[in-house]
Amino acid sequence: MADIVALIKPSYCVCLCCRLLELGLEGKVIRSQDLSTLILMVARNPRGHHLAWNFVKKNWDTLVQKSVQHNEDIVNEGILS
C-alpha cells in the first residue's frame, strides 16, 4: 500500500487515481481492506477530493457491502480460530 500512496503524493494524475480506486474496488490488485486508505489519500490531495467524493457516491452500495463482508470475515475468523 505504501507504494501506491507514493504514486498519489508527488504527482497527481486523475487517470491514475481513477484506476487505483477501481482496482481497490475490485479487490484483486489492491486489497479491499486498503480501499478506505486509498480513498482517503486521494481525497487529501487538493485536486483529488472531488474525484474521491464522486467515487464514494457512485459506489456507496458496493462499499457498504464490502465493509459488511470484511467485518463478517473478521468475526468468523476470530470465532473459528
Q: Which positions of the chain have pLDDT values less than 70?
A: 1-12, 70-81
Dump pLDDT digits (tens) for 29-52. 888 888 888 888 888 888 788 999
Backbone angles phi and psi of 2, in degrees to 5: -60, -35
CA–CA gap between residue 30 and residue 46 (Å, rounded): 23
- Cell numbers found for residue 28: 484483486
H helices, E strands: number in the chain: 5, 0
**The C-alpha cell that represents 79 in the structure block:** 470465532
